[in-house]
Each structure stands twice: as C-alpha cells, then as structure tokens.
C-alpha cells in the first residue's frame, strides 16, 4: 500500500466526519499520513486496518490510530480509531482525503502548441509538448499533461485530467471531470470495410459456408465522433472508435479499464464498469450499470440490458436481458452455464457407465457383439 500524505494535518475526528463514520478513543490525534500498518513510524500515522489480515498487523505496528471495520477487536496501544461500516467504500473516501494530485504547472507552457483559435480556460494547465488543435476548447481547471494531443474542434470539459500520451481525436466531446489515462486513444476511425459484392463474411453468416470472395476491401469512413459524459474514466491503452455517421457514446460515470476496445457506433449507458481486455464490437448497445468482467468479448449489434453482469472470459453473441448474470463461451445464464460445467465433469463417468452397459448387453445377447459395432468401438 502506497503511503499518502495529506495537504494539511487532520484530526482523527475530522477524518471520521468526512467519512460519515464513528470515532472511538482520542479524536484529537493529529494525522499526517495514511499508511499500511507495517509502515507506520509514529503517532502521526493512521494505520489502514479494515480487513482481517491488516488488523492482525496492528499489535506490532507503531501506529496509535487506525481505521477499522465495524465489530473489529482492536488491540491495546491504539489510542484512537475510526470505525467504518463498508471498508472498501470508506477506503475510497480515505484516499480522497489523502490524495496526492498530479503535478501540473498553472497556465500554458511555452513549450506547448495551442492553435490561435483554440479556447483555453484561464485556470487550465497545458504542459510542455502538449498539442491543442484548431477551434478546440479546454474547460476550467482542466489539466493536459505532456505529449497529449487534442484534435481540432474537440471539447475538453471542466476539471478533466488528460495523462501523458492521451490522444483525443477531432470533434470528440468530453464532459466534466473525465480522466483519460496514458496512451488511451479516443476518436479513432472505426474498423469498417465493405466489398463490392457479398463477401466471405456475409456468406459465412447466412449459410455457414464461404461462398463470396473479398476481391476488394473498400474503407467506410467514420464521419461521426465520440461523446463522453461527465465523470467518465478511460484506462491506459484503451481505444474508442468514432461513430460512422452519428456518435459513439459513453454515459456519465462509466469506468473503462486498461486495454479495452470499444467499436464504432457503440452506445454505453451510465455507471458501467468495463474491465481489462474487454472488446465490444460495433453498434452494440449497453444499458446502465452493466459490468463486463475481464476479457469479455461482445459481438456486433448485441443489446445488453441495464444492471446485467457478464463474468470474465465470456463471449457474448446474443442479447442479454436486464439484471441477468451471464457467463461462458458462448455466454449463457449463470445457472445454465453451471449445468454445462457439471455435465462436462461427469462425461468420464458417463462413458464408463455406457461401456459397462454395452458389456452387459453383449453378455445377455450371447457374448457376441455385431461386427459393425465392434469396428465402431475399435475406431473410437
């Protein structure tokens, strides 16, 4: 756990109030750092001991203050403690209190390029070697770090944070407080091509056979854009393609992990979570609060209902209803997937039972299996 240093010391009571938690013991203790219990060096350290493994480290810690889960038995030597009901949620609030913001110089660096007709808010920060294209707009309090490119006519909302190497394409629109991590690319052209006559893919989809031949792949330009809502976070190396004619959209509060691919025309709702290596093909519609776990693949033109959860490594090829839990390859309802896994685990025993039944039938039939059956068994 990385040590975190507050901007200014806080008392234990102030920390508890900010978290909406209870303080027990000495609430006047002054806290300067939040630390792993094993890394505490003195009274100014607050030990984060909200699970059993970390709580067990408190007896040997030099901390005199701790954050613990409700119902935890705290050892002697801890003079004050903050008691929280939901540890992981409390951790999020705690790290907000002890956040160490990125370093950003105020104003526009002389080493940055800002187009003459771009509009940059006076309190925005534009770092060296950043590029702000023609007619682009950068909102109040936005931070654009080194080697970021913001294309022509793009809109960066108030309070956005663009980490080094982020690529924001032309006409991309970004709401307030978005975070774009290193080397993410927003607003790429979609992967869209067409053949003069029906090609191999079309024949394979309709007939299951390859009939057509791809003698020419004509590029379908993407004249749409990407629109991100407020509080969207895009992970490092993630890519989002612009729409063919309209916009690829990501709703407010949605979080997209590292190395995720979002195809053209995709519509993603609010407060969704797309974990690492997820791939979503073009024109898919994802509802609100959907969770796609790591390495989920979603076929094109699929609809996933709000509040659905798809387990890791699943392949989604059909629509998923709201509030459903799907898993497997291809993805099916969780209960059905478990039935399939159980069936596979029982196959060996089933084959043994069938062989035993065959032997019994041959014995009842005089001991001689028909020649055709014997040859079939030999081939197996």
In SS3 terms, the chain reads as: CCCEEEEEEEEHHHHHHHHCCEEEECCCCEEEEEECHHHCCCCCEEEEECCHHHHCCHHHCCCCEEEEECCCCCCCCCCEEEEECCHHHHHHHHHHHCCCCCCCCCEECCCCEECCCCEECCCCEECCCCEECCCCEECCCCEECCCCEECCCCEECCCCEECCCCEECCCCEECCCCEECCCCEEEECCCCEECCCCCHHHHHHHHCCCCCCCCCCEECCCCCEEEECCCCEECCCCEEECCCCCEEEECCCCEECCCCEECCCCEECCCCEECCCCEECCCCEECCCCEECCCCEECCCCEECCCCEECCCCEECCCECCCCEEECCCCEEHHHHHHHHHHHHCHHHHHHHHHHHHHHHHHHCCCCCCHHHHHHHHHC
CATH number at residue 19: 3.40.1390.10
47-66 pLDDT per residue, tens: 999 999 999 999 989 999 99
**Do 326 and 351 share a domain, yes or no?**
no
Output the six-digit token pair for 89.
């949620």
Is 36 a catalytic site residue?
no
pTM confidence score: 0.85
Output the six-digit token pair for 136.
């682009």
The C-alpha atoms of residue 160 and residue 179 are separated, in whole angstroms, by 6
Q: How far is CA 301 from CA 198, 295, 341, in A?
A: 19, 19, 28
For the chain, 380 residues long, the average pLDDT of each consecutive 10-residue run is 58 94 94 93 92 91 93 89 92 88 94 98 98 98 98 98 98 98 97 86 84 85 96 98 96 98 98 98 97 97 98 97 97 93 87 88 72 51
**Do 121 and 153 share a domain, yes or no?**
yes
**Do 89 and 139 share a domain, yes or no?**
no
Q: Which of these three, 74, 97, 120, is where a domain ends?
A: 97
**Do 92 and 48 share a domain, yes or no?**
yes
**Do 91 and 114 share a domain, yes or no?**
no
**Do 121 and 231 share a domain, yes or no?**
yes
> Would you say 67 and 32 are in contact if contact means Cβ atoms under 8 Å apart?
no
pLDDT at position 198 is 81
Number of domains comprising the chain: 3
183-228 pLDDT per residue, tens: 999 999 999 988 888 888 888 888 888 887 888 889 999 999 999 9
Among 36, 147, 181, 264, the active-site one is 264
**Do 174 and 58 share a domain, yes or no?**
no
pLDDT at position 101 is 87
Other beta carbons within 10 Å of 361: 10
pLDDT at position 201 is 83
pLDDT at position 380 is 52
| Radius of gyration of the chain measured on its C-alpha atoms | 29
């Amino acid at each position: 756990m990385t040590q975190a240093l507050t901007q200014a010391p806080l008392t234990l009571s102030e920390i508890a109030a900010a978290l909406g938690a209870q303080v027990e013991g000495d609430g006047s203790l002054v806290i300067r750092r939040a630390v792993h219990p094993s890394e505490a060096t003195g009274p100014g350290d607050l030990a984060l001991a909200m699970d059993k493994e970390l709580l067990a480290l408190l007896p040997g810690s030099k901390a005199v203050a701790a954050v613990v889960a409700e119902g935890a038995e705290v050892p002697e030597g801890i003079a004050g403690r903050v008691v929280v009901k939901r540890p992981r949620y409390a951790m999020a609030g705690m790290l907000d209190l002890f956040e160490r913001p990125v370093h950003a110089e105020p104003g526009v660096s002389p080493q940055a390029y800002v187009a003459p007709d771009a509009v940059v808010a006076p309190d925005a920060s534009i770092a060296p070697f950043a590029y702000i294209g023609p007619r682009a707009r950068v909102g109040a309090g936005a931070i654009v770090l080194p080697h970021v490119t913001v294309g022509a006519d793009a809109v960066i909302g108030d309070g956005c944070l663009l980490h080094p190497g982020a690529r924001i394409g032309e006409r991309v629109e970004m709401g307030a407080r978005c975070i774009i991590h290193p080397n993410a690319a927003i607003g790429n052209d979609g992967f869209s091509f067409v053949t003069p006559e029906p090609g191999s893919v079309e024949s394979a989809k309709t007939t299951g056979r390859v009939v057509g031949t791809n003698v020419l792949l004509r590029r379908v330009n993407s004249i749409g854009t990407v629109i991100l809502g407020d509080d969207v976070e895009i992970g490092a190396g993630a890519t989002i393609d612009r729409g063919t004619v309209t916009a690829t959209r990501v709703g407010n509060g949605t979080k997209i992990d590292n190395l995720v691919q979002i195809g053209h025309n995709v519509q993603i709702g609010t407060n969704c979570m797309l974990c690492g290596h997820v791939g979503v093909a073009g024109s898919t519609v994802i509802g609100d609060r959907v969770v796609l776990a790591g390495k989920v693949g979603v076929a094109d033109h699929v609809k996933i209902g709000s509040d659905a959860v798809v387990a890791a490594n699943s392949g989604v090829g059909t629509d998923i209803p709201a509030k459903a839990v799907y898993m497997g390859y291809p993805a099916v309802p969780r209960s059905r997937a478990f039935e399939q896994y159980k069936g596979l685990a029982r196959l060996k025993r089933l084959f043994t039972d069938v062989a035993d039944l065959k032997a019994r039938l041959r014995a009842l039939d005089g001991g001689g299996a028909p020649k055709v059956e014997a040859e079939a068994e030999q081939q197996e």
